[in-house]
């Protein structure tokens, strides 16, 4: 019941906040913050109490929901899901603090509505990572769209309805394909096992012929690729991220999009091992294209939010690449990358949000010389940026390199291509920093951009601390990921290649 309880906390919180009188805005914020903090603590407690010697799904609970179709309310987490939940729940209180005035500033909608939606989104985020029933996963996958739709469409910027609609349509189309595959999977399971099921663990043992696998795989993959987002299904992301409030963008890119890559790692590999192998070369090519395309597009952006969104497209390329090379480093790197990317992109979105809220613009050209008027703010921007470009010492470096090295041992060409991507990352981040923070501040920047305040600092410092701490002690997270990864490798029947000319007798290397 632990996971259900974890979901109930924000759910009750969301309802409570929603039922508050509209006038009590401060109370709504405080309640939301308190609830999210409690959730985060509980989630961290759960993640830490995971047994890291086993890759099995833990904290399993199962209640019948629609027995006629073998659908159940079944939850459970392994190391990867546990860490993702922890990451998501840590981000929520921080974005609540960072977006303390976002609802008022948007000038639309009620304050309590904003915070209730965030908490509702948190429920869905936990649910989507914790579900071990594919149908339940699908339900959360789709329900999750609604809070985001309203968060963007109601509290977003000038183009909000366009962005919200685009986001919704893309996701729904993707989800539709997944639903089709899901039903197909159910039918196949009914034919094979005699009784249809959506249970993840049962489905992993399902023996499907290659043709069926390939077909069903595509439906799931399309949904996840839209969600993740991979080129060419990415165009909704820049719009959505640029129009949403920074907090929403953080959750959207930092957590929601992870559902795509999480879905690949959790469902595609174990359920469709043959198809995964079959499609891996194509997906690797797509991932490499994403890495490059996202990075080049990021260089060409004039809007900071869009720039970050495109950088994320590039990063998601790395994550997908790591998943589909199937090596332990690649898989662990990708899993770890999901967490790090949540933090680093979150930090970037928040700090850019701080800048935008001061200057009233997200255009890079409207800035310049920020480091002179607000050195700490500029410093925070730089650290967030460095984390995004995977500077060693930051957690994203560890994950990025793990992906690269995992790729290299399986596919040298892809690794070489992806490695060049890190140069582009340095370029777009530092170029943005150069144009935003350096130089002489203009009149407008001088008058509008003030130093970062305490509240904003409180929201962003924990993220940066987590980035650096995980960069120095990545093993703290990797030890939970490793067992899950070795289980995954069993599903896809892959063994890491042994070094070509290792000096194993030396016993060196640990």
Partner 1 sequence: MTAALIGLPLFGATVLLLGGRRTNAWGHYFAVAMSASSFFVGVATFMSMLGRSAEDRTIETHLFDWIAVGSFQVPFGLQIDQLSIAFVLLITGVGTLIHIYSIGYMAHDENRRKFFAYLNLFVAAMLLLVLANNYFLLYVGWEGVGLASYLLISFWQHKPSAAVAGKKAFVVNRVGDVGLSLAVMLMFVTFGTVTFSGVSAAAGNGDATSLKLIGFALLLAACGKSAQFPLQSWLLDAMEGPTPVSALIHAATMVTAGVYLIVRAHAIFDLSETARTAVVVIGAITLLLGAFIGTAKDDIKKGLAGSTMSQIGYMILAAGLGPVGYVFAIFHLLTHGMFKAGLFLGAGSVMHGVNDDVNMRHYGALRGAMKITYVTFGLGFLAIIGIPPFAGFWSKDEIIKVAFEQNTLVGLCTLVGAGVTAFYMTRMMTMTFFGEARWEKDVHPHESPSTMTIPMIILAVGSAFGGLLLLFVGDIEAWLEPVTGFATSTEAGGMAWLMPTTLLVIAAGVAYAWNTYGRRPVPVVAPAEVSLLTRAARNDAYGDAINEAIFMRPGLHLTRALVWFDTKGIDGFIGGFAALIGGLSARGRKLQNGYARSYALTMLGGAALIAFVLYLVRL
Contacts 24+ apart (CB under 8 A), 10-13: 10/35, 10/36, 10/39, 10/92, 10/119, 10/120, 10/122, 10/123, 10/126, 11/119, 11/120, 11/123, 13/39, 13/119
Q: How far is the CB of 237 from partner 1 (least distance, A)?
A: 11
Tokens of 376: 């700490």
| Alpha-carbon gap, residue 349 to 342, rounded angstroms | 10
Q: Which is nearer to partner 1, 89 or 371 (CB)?
A: 371
Interface residue with partner 1, options 49, 416, 446, 453 (CB under 8 A):
416
| Alpha-carbon gap, residue 6 to 13, rounded angstroms | 11
With beta carbons less than 8 A apart as the criterion, state whether 215 and 143 touch: no
Q: Which is nearer to partner 1, 96 or 422 (CB)?
A: 422
Other Cβ atoms less than 10 A from the Cβ of 158: the count is: 9
Query: Interacting stretch for partner 1, rule CB under 8 A, among 4-12, 126-134, 193-201, 498-506?
Result: 498-506
Q: How far is the CB of 231 from partner 1 (least distance, A)?
A: 8
Q: Which is nearer to partner 1, 73 or 428 (CB)?
A: 428
Q: How far is the CB of 416 from partner 1 (least distance, A)?
A: 7
Counting contacts by CB under 8 A, is residue 443 touching partner 1?
A: no
CA distances from 490 to 51, 265, 345 (A): 19, 13, 32
Tell me the CA end-to-end span of the chain in Å, nearest whole number: 40
Q: How far is the CB of 461 from partner 1 (least distance, A)?
A: 10
Interface residue with partner 1, options 12, 211, 393, 413 (CB under 8 A):
393
Query: Interacting stretch for partner 1, rule CB under 8 A, among 21-29, 148-156, 243-251, 479-487?
Result: 479-487
Name the residue with tokens 């290792």: 502
Q: CA 163, 266, 273 angle in degrees (round to 5)?
A: 115
Interface residue with partner 1, options 16, 143, 405, 469 (CB under 8 A):
405
CA distances from 280 to 90, 149, 264 (A): 33, 32, 12
Counting contacts by CB under 8 A, is residue 300 touching partner 1?
A: yes
Counting contacts by CB under 8 A, is residue 18 touching partner 1?
A: no
Counting contacts by CB under 8 A, is residue 77 touching partner 1?
A: no
Counting contacts by CB under 8 A, is residue 450 touching partner 1?
A: no
DSSP string, 359-425: HT--BGGG---HHHH-HHHHHHHHHHHHHHTT-BTBHHHHHHHHHHHHHHHH-HHHHHHHHHHHHHH
Among residues 260, 185, 177, 167, the alpha carbon closest in space to that of 219 is found at 177
Query: Interacting stretch for partner 1, rule CB under 8 A, among 29-37, 106-114, 290-298, 341-349?
Result: 290-298
Interface residue with partner 1, options 301, 314, 344, 388 (CB under 8 A):
301
Interface residue with partner 1, options 232, 446, 455, 458 (CB under 8 A):
232
**Range list of H helices, 99-144:** 102-106, 111-130, 134-143
Query: Interacting stretch for partner 1, rule CB under 8 A, among 12-20, 49-57, 252-260, 496-504?
Result: 496-504
Interface residue with partner 1, options 398, 452, 460, 464 (CB under 8 A):
398
Counting contacts by CB under 8 A, is residue 371 touching partner 1?
A: yes
- The site that binds partner 1 (CB under 8 A) totals a number of residues, namely 69
Counting contacts by CB under 8 A, is residue 408 touching partner 1?
A: yes
Counting contacts by CB under 8 A, is residue 338 touching partner 1?
A: no
With beta carbons less than 8 A apart as the criterion, state whether 388 and 311 touch: yes
Counting contacts by CB under 8 A, is residue 386 touching partner 1?
A: yes
| Alpha-carbon gap, residue 226 to 355, rounded angstroms | 29
Beta-bridged to residue 394, according to DSSP, are: 392
Q: How far is the CB of 299 from partner 1 (least distance, A)?
A: 5
Counting contacts by CB under 8 A, is residue 506 touching partner 1?
A: yes
Q: Which is nearer to partner 1, 98 or 331 (CB)?
A: 331
* 293 Cα distance to chain centroid: 19
CA distances from 340 to 314, 344, 463, 489 (A): 14, 6, 10, 22
| Alpha-carbon gap, residue 418 to 150, rounded angstroms | 36
Counting contacts by CB under 8 A, is residue 502 touching partner 1?
A: yes
Counting contacts by CB under 8 A, is residue 204 touching partner 1?
A: no
Residues that bind partner 1 (CB under 8 A): 231-232, 234-235, 293, 296-297, 299-301, 327-329, 332-333, 369, 371-372, 376, 379, 386, 391-393, 397-398, 401-402, 404-405, 408-409, 415-416, 419-420, 422-423, 426-427, 430-431, 433-434, 437-440, 473-475, 478, 481-482, 485-486, 496-504, 506, 508-510
């Amino acid at each position: 019941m632990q996971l259900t309880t974890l979901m109930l906390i924000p759910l009750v919180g969301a309802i409570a906040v929603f039922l508050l009188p509209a006038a009590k805005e401060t109370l709504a914020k405080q309640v939301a913050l308190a609830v999210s903090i409690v959730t985060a603590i509980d989630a961290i407690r759960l993640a830490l109490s995971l047994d890291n010697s086993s890759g099995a799904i833990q904290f399993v609970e199962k209640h019948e929901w629609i027995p006629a179709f073998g659908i159940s309310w079944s939850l459970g987490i392994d190391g990867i899901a546990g860490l993702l939940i922890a990451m998501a729940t840590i981000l929520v209180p921080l974005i609540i603090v960072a977006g303390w005035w976002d609802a008022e500033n948007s000038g639309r909608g009620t304050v309590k509505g904003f915070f209730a939606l965030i908490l509702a989104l948190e429920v869905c985020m936990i649910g989507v990572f914790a579900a071990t029933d594919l149908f339940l996963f699908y339900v959360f996958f789709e329900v999750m769209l609604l809070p985001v739709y309203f968060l963007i469409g109601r509290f977003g910027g000038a183009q909000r309805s366009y962005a919200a609609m685009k986001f919704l349509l893309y996701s729904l189309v993707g989800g539709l394909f997944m639903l089709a595959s899901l039903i197909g999977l159910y039918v196949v399971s009914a034919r094979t096992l005699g009784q249809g099921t959506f249970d993840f663990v049962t489905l992993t043992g399902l023996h499907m012929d290659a043709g069926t696998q390939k077909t069903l795989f595509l439906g799931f993959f399309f949904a996840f690729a839209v969600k993740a987002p991979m080129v060419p299904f990415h165009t909704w992301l820049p719009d959505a991220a640029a129009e949403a409030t920074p907090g929403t963008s953080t959750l959207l890119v930092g957590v929601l999009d992870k559902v795509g890559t999480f879905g690949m790692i959790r469902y595609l590999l174990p359920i469709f091992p043959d198809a995964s192998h079959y499609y891996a070369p194509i997906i690797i090519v797509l991932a490499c294209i994403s890495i490059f395309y996202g990075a080049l597009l990021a260089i060409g952006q004039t809007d900071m939010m869009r720039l970050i969104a495109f950088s994320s497209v590039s990063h998601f390329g790395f994550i997908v690449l790591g998943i589909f090379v199937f090596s332990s480093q690649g898989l662990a790197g990708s899993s770890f990358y999901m967490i790090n990317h949540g933090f680093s992109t979150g930090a970037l979105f928040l700090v850019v949000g701080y800048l935008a809220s001061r200057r009233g613009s997200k255009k890079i050209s409207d800035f310049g010389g920020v480091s002179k008027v607000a050195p700490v703010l500029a410093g925070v921007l730089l650290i967030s940026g460095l984390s995004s470009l995977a500077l060693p010492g930051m957690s994203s470096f560890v994950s990025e390199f793990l992906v690269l090295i995992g790729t290299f041992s399986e596919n040298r060409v892809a690794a070489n291509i992806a490695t060049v991507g890190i140069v582009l990352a340095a370029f777009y981040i530092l170029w943005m920093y150069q144009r935003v923070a350096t130089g002489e501040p203009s009149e407008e920047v001088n008058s509008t951009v003030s130093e970062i305040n305490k509240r904003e600092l409180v929201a962003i410092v924990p993220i940066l601390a987590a980035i650096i701490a995980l960069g120095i002690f990545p093993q703290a997270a990797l030890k939970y990921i490793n067992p899950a990864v070795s289980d995954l490798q069993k599903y896809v029947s892959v063994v890491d290649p042994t070094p070509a000319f290792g000096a194993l007798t030396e016993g060196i290397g640990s």
